[in-house]
Amino acid sequence: MRTRSLRIWYLVHKWTSLICTAFLLMLCLTGLPLIFHDEIEVMTGEAPAMQGAGSSGDGPSLQPLDVMLGKALAARPGEVPVFMAFDNETPILTVTTAPAPDSPGSAMTIQLFNRVTGEPAGQVVEEGVMHFLLQLHTDMFMGLPGMLFLGAMGVLFFAAIVSGVVLYAPFMRKLEFGTIRVSRSRRLKWLDYHNLLGIVALAWMSVVGLTGVINALATPIIKVWQMSELAEMTGAYAGRPALPPARYGSLDKAMAAARQALPGNNPQFIAFPGGSYSSKHHYAVFFQGNTPLTQRALTPALIDAETGELTDVRPMPWYTLALLYSQPLHFGDYGGLPLKMLWAALTLFTIVVLGSGLYLWLGKRRAPLAARVREVESGGLVAPAE
């Protein structure tokens, strides 16, 4: 590679890294406990550890959905239903209510019920250390602007990864893979650690960085789906006034119609009329597949909330599927505890890569660009002077 091209790639790597490093360190430190959020919530008692038949099944042992909804609304008089979510491994069912269908998340209440006994199983309280870490990791308590800002940091992180790979090739030209020169200068030792851990975690950092960018675009992605696919599915209802909650029909009837349209699939949640995931007239029953891969993809069945008749059913478009697959992949939620432990180890690697990169810059920040380039070309043997 020519020296001029190397200078450009070095500048790209330097500035993209410097701009995003502080935020990436924050994301790594908050993301590390979030990888084990399920296990931590069970250990601390924030999530119920119940076993038994899934709450989305049918049968005499499970309470009807209409009964469960009635219990939830009785506990929150004056509120309307927003979501009902199911667990296909335990009998726990959640009902989310709010003062209005389009209320912000902060105004919503999530109640848990045991669908076998019909009794309340607690309430999800959006507070505590894990909730604080999740909010900090997701949007830094700034809502959509914070999400988009962190998404931009993710783009810079990926640019730093690409430019780092380009610089890695000339640096390692005369060195064996995995070389750590501990007997030479401290700077050279940390430069070798920086390069080794960076190349080892290359694929993981790329995947987590890109899935983080996609997750940061969740709100715009859902908005596009609402204005395109959802609008087409409910085109016959355009111009009608919103259906008042007093005229909502049977949930059990709606679920039966949705199951008939999508046999062999498991319902994950129901979005009630007026919310972000439905129209002003429909129950949107979102189904997941029954395999480890297809259970991440959702297919909505729209049921007229008043008549209980099926309006439309169609798979989610590619951009929403990208979001649905990115969310669990970002936190290693695909392969159980072993994959989470691998995710945690690679997160620690990334923290070292970021910290060592910052140390290398601070130690020789006054060195001219030409000296930096010579350091890359020589494999670190020609160190920049102070």
Backbone angles phi, psi at 229, to 5 degrees: -65, -50
Six token digits for residue 12: 């790209």
Residue whose tokens read 């851990």: 197
pLDDT for 129-138, tens place per residue? Answer: 888 999 999 9
d(CA 285, CA 255) in angstroms, rounded, equals 7
Neighbouring residues of 282: CB distance < 8 A, sequence distance ≥ 6: 234, 237, 273, 302, 303, 304, 305, 311
Six token digits for residue 291: 């395999």
pLDDT for 150-199, tens place per residue? Answer: 999 999 999 999 999 999 988 888 888 888 988 888 888 999 999 999 99
The residue among 101, 104, 64 whose CA lies nearest residue 79 is 101
Residue whose tokens read 């029953």: 285
Global pTM? 0.88
d(CA 352, CA 361) in angstroms, rounded, equals 14
- Residues 289 and 295 sit within 8 Å (Cβ to Cβ): yes
The residue among 252, 253, 286, 288 whose CA lies nearest residue 270 is 286
Q: Walk along the chain (386 residues) in steps of 10 and give the mean pLDDT of each run.
A: 85 95 96 90 65 61 93 96 91 94 91 92 80 94 96 97 94 87 87 93 95 96 94 92 94 96 94 94 94 86 96 95 92 85 95 94 76 77 60
- Which sequence spans correspond to the domains of the chain? 3-39+136-216+334-377, 47-127+244-305
CA angle 100, 105, 109 (to 5 degrees): 70
